[in-house]
Structure 1
Amino acid sequence: MTENAVRETEHEINVCAPADLVYALVADVTRWPETFPPTVHAEVVEREGDAELIRLWATANGTAKTWTSRREHDAAARTVTFRQERSQHPVGGMGGAWVVEPVSATSCRVRLLHDFHAATDDPADLDWISQAVDRNSASELQALKASAEAAGPDDLITFDDTVTVDGSGKDVYEFLNEAQLWQERLPHVARVSLEEDEPSLQILEMDTRTKDGSTHTTRSVRVCKPATTIVYKQIVLPALMTLHTGRWLIEEREGGGVSVTSRHTVRINTENIAKVLGEDATVRTAQEFVRTALSGNSLATLGLAKAYAEGVGGGRTRS
């Protein structure tokens, strides 16, 4: 790899919010799925002092990728430097920094720096990475600005639905993981397409039926952890939402069986409330509407997963 094959980029944005508030959003990686559109899921693998190892799952040029990065926090300077520890093809290596610079007591400038090289000498691979970095950097900075400048209380809502299953977590996970079969198994799913180029990292597209008989299309990236968790984020959303993340949690119960929870986190698209629900509808009306619809589908899925694991459905017989 020659030195001139390394590219460096810098993207920046001005934010009308205090530098400390913006830095906090950058520093807390567990909030990234709610803040940054490309980020599907983020975990802190280990932390010691100002250093941490994180793992990210995100979209890049329409594909799903995962990697681990080392990060160093400098709260006094309001910087977070990062370096990918395990990159994914076609990336050969990548690093950079978030830099938050105060402009006044109520505004700041955010710079996002990258340096990277491809895993091959093919110029097309380097161009692909450049396009992904440009697209994601612009998206992330705009999202950071919007989140930091948002007035009022947090507009996210989170809610759970849980069932208990007298069966194995492995069987429940099998039902939830095999989403390519949901058109046959779930009455509210009209069409489904599942891509899994990398094990346990899925792109799921489906048409969901609503109570009035119409359908809407959603596309999600799913991070699957066998027999315990499926985390997902919708990257193509219905009109009433600007954010929808969720997870399926499978937990062993004392005395046998498992508890299975469907958790949703949602942000309402306020610009579409009147168009979808009428002129008299409010944000609260939209939240309740979305919660009812999502919980209804979740409980239907949980009920059929329960039946499958307990041997009643899915073509299985009780032992």
Structure 2
Amino acid sequence: MSGERVHCVRHSMEVAAPAGAVYALLADAVRRPLYCPPVLHVERLDFDGTRERLRMWESAGGHIRSSMWVRVQHPHERRIEFVRLTHEAPVESMGGEWTVEEAAGGRSAVTVRHEFTVAGDHGDDVAWVGLVTGDSARAELESLRRIAENRDGLDDLVLSFEEEVRVNGPGELVYDFLYRAADLPDLAPRVRHFELTESSPGVQVLGYEERLPDGAVRTTGAVRLCFPHAGRIVYKQTAPSAPVAAHTGEWSVLPDEHGVRVVARHSVLLDETVVRSVPGAGIFAPGPAPSGLEGARIRLREAIGRSSLATLELAGRHAESAVRTLPRRPAVAADSPR
């Protein structure tokens, strides 16, 4: 910490789940976007089994913010230390730790402690940072409690899958098609009233209406983070519809010796309350399917897969048609100067 006075805020919550299960959820930083609404995406930059360096994107106060963190895991103590490496004024430093302790009746006591310093140590700034930090801590604790207390069926509630197409065309054109989300309404009849803002390069905020297979129309949105040099676009839906509690995904353009592979990856967290209460959980795909959790998984897999595969195929046709329309180079005679 710097020479400014260190301020400490502490928040705790009791969770009806074993301490080991709660700690495991905290330790899995990469899956936090599924479990914690403000967290959009987490990239693990390095990890040696104990110490990890993370880049995290979050939505806060209507803004998309990126930050760098170092976390040190102490699994035998069920404790995780963290230090934020990047800051925005007036914060000068931020760190702390998570601890998980056993409580009576197989429950857990979870505590998160933040220590921070503020430039100038002005009272209003200190109060504001404490308020924002406290709001974030309480939201994380509540999200952790909700997920941990449904842990017995958590593996069944998380659905992960991918779709893939092979394209006989340049990967740059495929990526360009996926990046130009503003063109989507002209190419996908299911999408209506589309809005896109890009306040900084590569950070896209989408809002649109989508017609579902059963004819219903839902209003939804997403935040997309674009990495052109890596051929990747990652995203998180900001207003998922029941029975989906959270939906994250990634588009990847992967050149290889045979051409270009384009992959759509999805991770979906189902809302157990809705799945258990709605027969078939079936707003996404009409037709026969088992009821309850199994039916919801089948319907979501079909509906999301069909939609993403259609986008992949459009991207492929875009790249391949562009190649076909390029002017052909004249043949060069064997004895011509080169």
SS of the aligned residue for 1:142 comes to helix
Query: Greater shift after overlay, 10-19 or 179-188?
Result: 179-188
How far the C-alpha of 1:297 sits from its partner, in A, is: 1.4
- Map residues 26-45 of structure 1 onto 2, 5 A cutoff: 26-45=26-45
- Map residues 76-155 of structure 1 onto 2, 5 A cutoff: 76-88=76-88, 91-104=91-104, 106-117=106-117, 129-150=129-150, 151-152=152-153, 154=155, 155=157
| TM-score normalized by the length of structure 2 | 0.82
Given that 1:196 and 1:203 are in contact with CA atoms closer than 8 Å, whether structure 2 keeps it comes out as yes
SS of the aligned residue for 2:147 comes to helix
How far the C-alpha of 1:40 sits from its partner, in A, is: 1.6
User: What is the aligned partner in structure 1 of residue 314 from structure 2?
Assistant: 304
Amino acid of the structure 2 residue aligned with 1:299: L
Match of 1:228 among 231, 251, 263: 231
User: What is the aligned partner in structure 2 of residue 252 from structure 1?
Assistant: 255
- Map residues 132-281 of structure 1 onto 2, 5 A cutoff: 132-150=132-150, 151-152=152-153, 154=155, 155-226=157-228, 227-255=230-258, 257-273=259-275, 274=278, 277=282, 281=291
Measured at CA, do residues 308 and 124 of structure 1 come closer, stay the same or move farther in structure 2, by a change above 3 Å?
farther
Distance 1:8 1:308 in 2: 55
Distance 1:288 1:41 in 2: 26
Amino acid of the structure 2 residue aligned with 1:317: T
- Map residues 52-91 of structure 1 onto 2, 5 A cutoff: 52-88=52-88, 91=91
Amino acid of the structure 2 residue aligned with 1:87: H
User: What is the aligned partner in structure 2 of residue 292 from structure 1?
Assistant: 302
Distance 1:211 1:47 in 2: 42
Query: Greater shift after overlay, 102-111 or 167-176?
Result: 102-111
Amino acid of the structure 1 residue aligned with 2:53: L
Distance 1:204 1:120 in 2: 38
How far the C-alpha of 1:47 sits from its partner, in A, is: 2.8
How far the C-alpha of 1:185 sits from its partner, in A, is: 2.7
How far the C-alpha of 1:102 sits from its partner, in A, is: 1.8
Measured at CA, do residues 165 and 156 of structure 1 come closer, stay the same or move farther in structure 2, by a change above 3 Å?
same
Distance 1:122 1:208 in 2: 48
SS of the aligned residue for 1:87 comes to coil
Amino acid of the structure 2 residue aligned with 1:241: V
SS of the aligned residue for 1:86 comes to coil
Distance 2:137 2:206 in 1: 24
Given that 2:4 and 2:117 are in contact with CA atoms closer than 8 Å, whether structure 1 keeps it comes out as no
Distance 2:176 2:120 in 1: 37
- Higher-Rg member (1/2): 2
Amino acid of the structure 1 residue aligned with 2:59: T
Given that 2:4 and 2:120 are in contact with CA atoms closer than 8 Å, whether structure 1 keeps it comes out as no
Given that 2:195 and 2:208 are in contact with CA atoms closer than 8 Å, whether structure 1 keeps it comes out as yes
SS of the aligned residue for 2:253 comes to strand
SS of the aligned residue for 1:55 comes to strand
| TM-score normalized by the length of structure 1 | 0.87
User: What is the aligned partner in structure 2 of residue 16 from structure 1?
Assistant: 16
Count of aligned residue pairs for this structure pair:
314
Distance 1:213 1:266 in 2: 22
User: What is the aligned partner in structure 1 of residue 292 from structure 2?
Assistant: 282
Name the structure with the higher strand share: 1
How far the C-alpha of 1:149 sits from its partner, in A, is: 1.9
Q: 1:213-234: per-residue Cα shift (whole Å, max 9, x none)? A: 4321212222221152111111
Given that 2:53 and 2:69 are in contact with CA atoms closer than 8 Å, whether structure 1 keeps it comes out as yes
Gaps of 5+ in 2: 284-289, 328-338
Amino acid of the structure 1 residue aligned with 2:325: T
Distance 1:229 1:139 in 2: 29
Given that 1:183 and 1:192 are in contact with CA atoms closer than 8 Å, whether structure 2 keeps it comes out as yes
Q: 1:249-269: per-residue Cα shift (whole Å, max 9, x none)? A: 2111223x2111111111223
Q: CA RMSD for the aligned pairs?
A: 2.8
Between the aligned residues of both structures, percent identity stands at 34
How far the C-alpha of 1:88 sits from its partner, in A, is: 4.4
